[in-house]
Structure 1
Amino acid sequence: MEQWLAASDGNHRVQLWQAYSLSLAKFGGAAKALDWLNQLPPGGDGQVLRLARATFAEQLRNWKETIEQLQPLADTGQLPAQDWQRLANAYIQQVDEKGLTALLAHAPSPAAANQTRLAMANRAIAVGHHQQAQRWLQSLPPDQLQQPEQRQQLWQLAREGDDAALVRRLSNDLQRPCLETVDWLSHQDPDLAREQFKACPANADPQAYAVLKQRLYGAPPQPPQPRTAAEWEQRYRQTGDLAALEQTTFLLTEQGHGDHARHLLEQAYDRHQGRLGPSLLQRLANLYARDDGPLDSRRMLGLIPRVNADTRAQLLGRLAEAGQCDAVRQAVPATPSESGQYRALGRCAMPDQPGEAVVYYQAAERLGDPGNRLPLAYALEAAGDSETAQPIWRSLPDSAFTDNARLTAARGALNAGDADAARRYWDAAAHQSADDWALGAAIAERQGDPQAALGFQRQALAHSPRPDHYYAASSTAQLAGDSAQSTAWLAEAVRLAPDQPRYRADYGMRLAGSTDKAQRMQSIPYLEHATHDFPEDYRLGETLALRYDEHADSAAARRELRRILDVEQNLVDGDDEYGSLEARKYRQRRAHESLSRRDTITLASTWSPAGTSTNDKFLDNGQRSGSSRRAQSQNVQLAMWDHALGEEPSRNGSTLSVYGRVLFGGQSRTDYAQSMGTGVGLRYKPLGQANLNLYAELYHQRQIDEAHYRGLSLGQLLSPAKVGGNWGDLRHHAESSNDLLLRATASFLDQGGWRNDWRIDEDDWNERFLYLDAAWWTRAGDHAWLSRYQQGHAWKLPGSSPQTLMPYGFVEFSSQDPSNDWRQDARAGVGVRWQWWFDDDRYNAYRGSLKVRAEYQQSLGGNLYERANGVLVGAEMTF
């Protein structure tokens, strides 16, 4: 490096040694860089080299080296203004008064010189050279010396230096208390103190005035010294001597006459406009801080900034407890600095802003206030943060707990999920009110002891209960299995608080779920109120619709269902623990559709195996009785219209309908319409909760005789001539019969999760049914019985259209008694069904469906049919 420097000159040389010195400083420290630069001979770059050495010396706080490098430049006038300040700082750090004085002669500006003088004064103060600091301050220009900061500094230095004349002049200029100045001067220059004393008012601090007067002029003859509080009070009233008031109030307070002492202090406070001595102010504040003391917010606000922190905290606490929080906020600065201030703000924040109170109490705790734990725990509980409050409750000694604290801790532990700890706190407290016993009931419930909880609720209701206590007790009784008691207590809650919407709603739901129909009917007015109070609660609306339906008011039930659907129309996230919003809406639409359906049309066609019966039976030559074991029809087509009678289609699930149907049957798979049956009848569904139907039908059948039946195939159904000819044969060449058919059908096991309906929020589901069918042809005297159990699993098909595919299995039993000879047939099989739903709208679920099925039937035994095995295909549309 030295060789490169020797071979370089000018800026290139400077760049080389600058870079190298910086590298040394980075990896070896500033001292190493300074040592290397000191051994480097100058080469036309002496000024820059000295400035660099001074920089490293400053980093090392080597002020002597800094001066040695910069002073030569200052002597030759080569020192820049910025570096002049660095040199001045080095002299200041060395407290080199001589060197700095010489340097000030070449200051770059008067402002820089004055700033340097001030810095030198501050440095002298820092090292304890007070006289030197005083000289430097006095060397400042008069206008700068008049600034309050400098005059205050000079006043302090004058006191340190015992400069009595200067202290007196500056004290008066700074408007320091006159007696304070006299007190200091009395120890330094008594003559000057007496001169100053003449200007002091006697009423500023009478006690201090008397003490200083005695010190400067000697004690005057003293009257006999009072001994009792009454004597001191008499002297005070005669002389107005505040020292006498001090002694009077002290003795009165000690003797338990605090009210009289406070009265004297209040008179003096008002007479002197609050300008009393610290001890008198402190005593008055102490009297106000007592819990049994009066609350004078005006005087307390005046005392708060003039007493010690402990008393200030007590005064603020009393104001906060009394609810005078505006006064508290007025007395507390914007940035509180004492725990008592934070504690009072926290008390004011309770109970409306418990979260804010937590912040204040935590701030007080950070300032070392050990008595802040209990109110902090209360605030955390009120803010709903029981988890954080629990460690605080556990840390408190037993002596810190009151009954209220134990009950609050119990409630917090219960909220935090620790029922056992809650029970321990609750057991340790006295239970005086209904709230206390209700808390015990809630704890017992959480512990899984409903009977104990019920006992506690009975205690709660024996201690001046409110409506909410009856409401809570009702829930406990229901949990304990005492439904009658639960309902009675809930009714009492409603009686005591008839305008409480939640009570009315729950009472309505309770009545609606009763086993007594009369009580269920009583629920309707309560549920009507509840649906207005809680229009978004679909469970209330659905229950009201059910009760309307049970009351045979289908129109009101439909109206309520439409209202629910309107409310749910714009919901975005309406899922809950009972299911999805869409499934719920579909359920409501299905209920609305069931209540509003008046007409039902069914079209069906079935092709059965040879010798296997289809979905209806045709007579043999017009006679039901006969000996043939072969089924009379291999395919059957059905058209049926069902029309509900009455003002409303449904009355509590019960319906009465008139219906008509037409059946066509053929004796082989390729022949159609050899027989035709027509029927008109009544259908009665008596039970709302059971799928039981009773039929009475006038049945007429026509069957073309073999001589005239020319056959009608599926393709020929499209030929008007063929169809017309077959119709003519049915009218003119057919045997006919009439009968009265009485019939009963029922289906079971097909409700709830096994129902045959579209599912919104399921991709696959199970279906099943047990179908029973009994028929009696009264004229022919024949009977027929059919029972079928079927179960399968349906899967949704892809796409937006509601379609499913379901494989299933079944067992079937049928029986007939032609010629009074009972014959039976048992069979089983498997099949697959495709189903499509259609025709829905905003308020109604799918009204129609199309089913196509194919199944294989295997005979299990019996003597009713022959050649009974084979494939059955059927299609059915209902709308």
Structure 2
Amino acid sequence: MALFVMAPAWPLHAAGQEPVADSSRYRQFMVYPHRQAGYAAMRAGDERVAMAEFMRARALAPQSIDTALDLVEAYRHFGHAAQAQKLLDEQHRYTPNDPRLRAAQSVAAPSAVDCSRDGRPVCRAQRGFDDLQAGNLAKAQAELDAPDFARSPEGRSLRHALVQRAIYLGDRQRADAQLAELDANDKLSADERSQWFNLLLQLGKLDAARQLQSRGGLDAPAQDLAMAQAIANHSDRKGLAAYMASRQPAFTTEKDERQWVNLLASVAHDRPELLARYASRYPANAVLQARLSVPLAMARGDSAMAQRMLSRLPDGSFREDRFSLDLQQGRYAEASQQAELLIAQPEGYRLLDPLSYRLMEAGARGEAKQLLLAAYPFAGNPGSAALFSRLAVLAGEQPALFSSDDRVRLRRPLESVPLRMAQVAILGALHDCDGIRQVMIDLSPNYSAEQWRQLGDCYGNDRPGLAEYAYAEANKRKPDSDTTRALAYQAYSAQDYATALQVWRSIPVVHMQSADLLAAATTALTVDDPAVARSWLDTYAAQGGQRDHTYWWLRAQADDPRDPALARADLENAVAMHPDPRYYARLAALQSQAGEAQQALVSLQRASALAPNDSKLAAALGYAYLQVGAPDKAMVQFERAHQANPDDPALTRQLLYVHQQLGDSAQARTYAALAIDQLGPIDAPGTGSSDSTAQEDEDQQRYTLRRLHEDLGRQWRFNADMTLGDTVSSAANTAAPGVSYRSYLQLEAQYRFDPHLTGGDANTLAAYARVFAGSGASGSVWPMHAPMLGVGLHWKPLLSQNVVLSIEQQTPVGNSRDTRNDTMLRASGSWSFSPRLSDDWHATGPSWFTQNFYVDIARYLRARQTVFTVDYQLGWQRKLIDGQTIEPYAHVQYTGIDRAHGAGYARDARLGVGLQWNLWYGETRYDAYPHRFSIAVEGQHAFTSYLHENNAVFLIARTQW
């Protein structure tokens, strides 16, 4: 016969019963599947599987009455009564007071009486259990319905077994009917009351279970917990809260008390005070209670309750909850301390992310920053990326939180590129360009496009070349229109116009904004590509870009090369919309190109009025005044420009030349000295050679300025030259044009008038006197015959040409019959055609070629004779030492004399070759060599001549000082 078919899935203990080891939910969770599988095998008649499953359940819960009765049922079902009895005896040691065990033992006890027709309760119970084992619930019910049997102990055991069987078979109607038969007036033992209480809970008859509990005897903590669990299983949270509010069980085990605390926590949302007021007996459950109640109290803002719960616990416990409570109450400093202690725990670094986040969310940004920087650079923290990002967010939102020491620390480059990339994000949020440049100094190719872009922004105008490089690297990695556009603008800023143009051309026109098209056109004009500029300007106009003065200004520059007239029209449109000095200046340039000097001057005057402090415009206006012949006004403008740019050598020289043109030699000489100073220190004396062409040009410029300075400061000039020959020659001389001597001598003194005294004309006017003599008709070697005194004026009408007009009164000094008074009118000029070919000292180079083309026309009024002379000389001067040269030379000369009184025209053409030694001396810092002495030996051959001798040799000496 069988006692139970299936035990309850949730064992509960009767009053006064010892709790067994399988009372935990986890143990029941492990045992229940094996019990189910065992009964399924029994129904299928599979003894092997059934026995194996029940034994496995028994091994998991070796002291459980449920696993014992399951295995007893299996033994009996498969005919192993002795083993069933042995197991019941063994279970008696663990649960001796369990009524199910006693019932099983009484039913299993051997009986000598034949109970097949006996009406005693024990026999009825035995027959009923046999019917249950056979699965005949109707016959078992019939036995139970016998008079006076149901209320007997045996009848109540059979009823219990019948209810269990009905529950197992899912026959809730039969189970409910049997429970309804339980009379409230029945006198049940404590074990039976507990048993029926458990069955009511299994069937979900919570009201009936409460009624049974209300009769008394079921107030043990186990029944309280069972009822609470049953209510919780029905998801009746309000009913559970009401029930638990009326109970304060004192559990004898920590596990049961923990279950009660968990149930209190499940209703804490509605009745938080239930969890808070419960007094746990076990420390572990007190901790659990605090862990569950504190967050709930904080969630509803009941900080006082949370604080009371935490005060029951040691200070070092529940740091996270203490942190949360401090954070909630605005005690940020205390919250930060708790966070630091949490992070200091083993593996605490993993909490840095959530703790810093919560500090930020609560508004404690300073504390969050301190917490993060204390752990920076987060080595070994798997969430370092999020932490770097959080620092960057803090830096961007409140950069003032970061002190100078913090910034110095953040600027130190970390050891790897990924870490430095994270650094850049923080420094970028702080707008700390110095830090970004310091961190990215390695220029690693692994930096992202965004970081290269940041670096480019940071270099900006300070280091435009590096900024361009950074933008170029960003464009390689992310060539979108924004990055490419930034590269184009920066390349232009770095004056890398070719790259800027190339980048602009790489951007599709459809992606270019109006401002981009104007910038691209500006770039094209800068690199002198007006055709490309016109294309972009056409696109700009086609897209509806505003045709303002900027557009017309760019349009004028683009149209200028091919159509100056159109460019002028563009500029006129520009100045009509917006008078701008740049526009007027360019318009003036076009007008000047067209030969409209006066209109150009007007445009520059307007430009200068708009920008009176613009030195470049002042200089341009000065040149315009020179073009219209107003050097005095030009001088004023050049002075304005020079005041703004006193170190500009071009302005200094222009003032030199203007003052020279105005005849103000003193001021011209002052600017000549200043121009010399602007060329820098003078190189060591020597041959004048230098290491570079630029240096040679500078040296030559210096010498030219020194020569001009010397010339402007000279008023007296003295010359002497003498020729000694072996025969008479017609070689050109300044003493007596057209007069042939074997030898001659001339001494001349010249005084140059101050231009200011002669009306301010820069053209040179000088008075001179000279004495000259020749060898005479006797052919004497020494030129002492018939000396003459010449007194006259020299006038140099052209500033840029060496042409001199002279008038001279000649008077005999002695009583020579070969001389007489006469007046000579003379025009002469000489040209070397290049400063490099002049016979003056050259500051650069070891040698130079010289040439001179000399023309002289003299008219003697009294003698009515005209003399025409042309002479060309080519030489090569080789420097010996500073200020000395040796010069081989050759010259060709033609002399024609138109004689008076029908004497006819005489001519002489000859070639001369000579060697000359030159000495220059007397130079100073600002004056070139003022003195020169030359001595030469020359041989001549006349191809045609009016003289008797065709060949001659001369010794020639000249000096000037």
Tell me which interval the TM-score lies in, with the shorter structure as reference length.
0.5 to 0.7
Q: Are the structure 2 counterparts of residues 735 and 744 from structure 1 closer, same or farther at C-alpha, using a change threshold of 3 Å?
A: same
Identical amino acids, percent of aligned pairs: 20
**Aligned equivalent of 2:335:** 275
Cα shift at 1:770: 1.2
Structure 1 pair 362–796 and aligned structure 2 pair: CA distance change class (3 A): closer
* Aligned residue pairs, count: 593
1:588 deviates by: 1.9
Further displaced range: 787-796 or 669-678: 669-678
2:649 matched residue in structure 1: 538
What is the Cα deviation at residue 837 of structure 1?
0.9
**C-alpha displacement of 1:670:** 1.9
Question: Is it true that 1:560 corresponds to 2:671 in the alignment?
Answer: yes
With over 3 angstroms needed to count, the CA separation of the structure-2 counterparts of 1:321 and 1:636, relative to structure 1, is: farther
Q: Distance in 2 between matches of 1:345 and 1:662?
A: 90
Q: Does the CA-based 8 Å contact 1:609-1:869 persist in structure 2?
A: no
CA–CA distance in 2 between the matches of 1:835 and 1:426?
68
Q: Where do 1:393-542 residues align within 5 Å? A: 393-399=474-480, 401-402=482-483, 404-408=485-489, 410-411=491-492, 415=496, 418=499, 421-425=502-506, 430=512, 432-433=514-515, 437=518, 440-446=521-527, 449=530, 452=533, 459=551, 461=553, 498-499=612-613, 503-505=614-616, 507-508=618-619, 511-512=622-623, 516-518=627-629, 521-542=632-653
Contact 1:524 1:548 in 2 (8 A): yes
Which of 719, 725, 738 does residue 602 from structure 1 map onto? 719
Within the candidate set 388, 406, 420, 1:330 is matched to 406
1:36-435 alignment, distance < 5 Å: 216-217=288-289, 236=300, 270=330, 272=332, 275=335, 282=357, 285=360, 301=369, 305=373, 309-310=385-386, 312-313=388-389, 316=392, 319=395, 327=403, 330=406, 333=409, 335=412, 337=414, 338=419, 339-345=421-427, 353=434, 357-361=436-440, 371-379=450-458, 382=461, 383=463, 384-385=465-466, 388-389=469-470, 392-399=473-480, 401-402=482-483, 404-408=485-489, 410-411=491-492, 415=496, 418=499, 421-425=502-506, 430=512, 432-433=514-515
2:841 is aligned to 758
Q: Secondary structure at the match of 1:398?
A: coil
User: In structure 2, what is the equivalent of residue 642 of structure 1?
Assistant: 750
Question: CA–CA distance in 2 between the matches of 1:315 and 1:493?
Answer: 55
8 Å Cα contact 2:867/2:895 also seen in 1: yes
Q: Pick from 816, 825, 844: which aligns with 1:742?
A: 825
Instruction: Tell me the amino acid that sits aligned with residue 890 of structure 2.
Output: G
- Aligned letter for 1:597? R
Provide the C-alpha distance between the structure 1 equivalents of 2:707 and 2:286, rounded to a whole number of angstroms: 106
Equivalent-residue separation in structure 1 for 2:695 and 2:629 (angstroms): 28
CA distance in 2, matches of 1:478, 1:442: 21
| Match 2:775 to one of 656, 666, 682 | 666
Which runs of no fewer than 5 residues in structure 1 stay unpaired?
A: 1-188, 195-205, 226-231, 243-264, 289-295, 625-629, 703-729
**Conservation of the 8 A alpha-carbon contact between 1:817 and 1:823:** yes
What amino acid is aligned across from residue 603 of structure 1 in structure 2?
Answer: A
What CA distance in whole angstroms lies between the structure 2 residues aligned with 1:301 and 1:529?
59
Contact persistence 1:438–1:460 (CA under 8 A): no
Among 931, 934, 941, the residue aligned to 1:858:
941
Instruction: Report deviation, 1:558.
Output: 1.1
Give the deviation of 1:771 after TM superposition: 0.9
TM-score by length of 1: 0.56
Alignment equivalent of 2:659, drawn from 534, 548, 555: 548
Q: Deviations over 1:746-788 (max 9, x none)?
A: 1123442222211222211121121111111111211111111
Corresponding position of 1:791? 874
The 8 Å contact of residues 587 and 603 in structure 2, kept in 1 or not, is answered as no
Q: Supply the distance in 1 between the matched residues of 2:803 and 2:441 (Cα, whole angstroms).
A: 71
Q: Aligned Cα RMSD in Å?
A: 5.3
Residues 524 and 533, structure 2, Cα contact 8 Å, conserved in 1: no
Q: Are 1:592 and 2:680 counterparts?
A: no
Match of 1:613 among 727, 730, 739: 730
SS in 2 for 1:761: coil
The alpha carbon displacement at 1:472 in A equals: 11
Amino acid of the residue matched to residue 289 of structure 2? Answer: Y
Moved more, 556-565 or 589-598: 556-565
> Distance between the aligned counterparts of 1:506 and 1:579, measured in 2?
32
- In structure 1, distance between residues paired with 2:856 and 2:330: 105
How far the C-alpha of 1:696 sits from its partner, in A, is 0.9
Return the letter of the residue paired with 1:360.
V
Structure 1 Cα separation of the partners of residues 292 and 458 of structure 2: 61
In 1, the alpha carbon distance for the partners of 2:948 and 2:501 equals: 75
Equivalent of residue 867 in structure 1, options 937, 940, 949: 949
Displacement of 1:462 in angstroms is 7.2
> Match for 2:792 among 678, 681, 684?
681
| Residue aligning to 2:888 | 807
Partners of 1:497 and 1:318 lie apart in 2 by 48
Work out whether residues 941 and 951 of structure 2, in 8 Å CA contact, stay in contact via their aligned partners in 1.
yes
| Structure 1 residue 809, shift from structure 2 partner | 2.3
Structure 1 residues 397 and 647: alpha-carbon distance in aligned structure 2, compared to 1, 3 A threshold: closer
Distance 1:311 1:527, change over 3 A: farther
Partner of 1:654: 763
Quote how far apart the aligned CAs of 1:279 are: 5.1
The letter of the residue matching 1:612 is S
The residue type equivalent to 2:751 in the other structure is H
The DSSP-based 3-state class of the residue aligned with 2:957 is strand
Asked if residue 877 in structure 1 is aligned to residue 959 in structure 2, the reply is yes
Q: CA deviation at 1:442?
A: 3.9
Q: How far apart, in 2, do the equivalents of 1:358 and 1:662 lie? A: 82
Q: Distance in 1 between matches of 2:623 and 2:682?
A: 27
Q: Distance in 1 between matches of 2:484 and 2:786?
A: 92
Mark the CA change 1:331 to 1:215 in structure 2 (over 3 Å): closer, same or farther: farther
Distance 2:305 2:443 in 1: 41
1:179-212 Cα distance to aligned partner (Å, 9 max, x none): xxxxxxxxxx999999xxxxxxxxxxx9xx99x9
Tell me how far 1:848 sits from its aligned partner: 1.2
Q: Structure 1 residues 781, 365: CA separation in 2 closer, same or farther (over 3 Å shift)?
A: closer
**Bigger CA radius of gyration:** 2
Aligned partners of 2:600, 2:388: CA distance in 1, in Å? 54
SS in 1 for 2:895: strand
TM-score, structure 2 normalization: 0.52
CA drift at 1:553: 1.6
* Structure 2 unaligned residues grouped into runs of 5+: 1-253, 260-271, 277-283, 307-324, 340-352, 376-382, 538-548, 556-573, 685-689
**What amino acid is aligned across from residue 795 of structure 1 in structure 2?**
R
Asked whether the equivalents of residues 656 and 672 of structure 2 are also in contact (C-alpha less than 8 Å), the reply is yes
Measured in 2, the distance between the counterparts of 1:853 and 1:865 equals 23
**Amino acid of the residue matched to residue 288 of structure 2?**
L
Q: Distance in 2 between matches of 1:773 and 1:374?
A: 75
Whole-angstrom CA distance in 1 between matches of 2:957 and 2:536: 63
The 3 A distance-change label for structure 1 pair 447 and 824 is same
Q: Distance in 2 between matches of 1:283 and 1:689?
A: 88
Q: In the alignment, which residue of structure 1 is the partner of 2:146?
A: none
Letter in 2 for 1:662: V
1:436 to partner: Cα distance: 7.5
Q: Is the CA contact 1:412–1:422 (under 8 Å) kept in the aligned structure 2?
A: no
Distance of aligned partners of 1:631 and 1:536 in 2 relative to their CA distance in 1, 3 Å threshold: closer
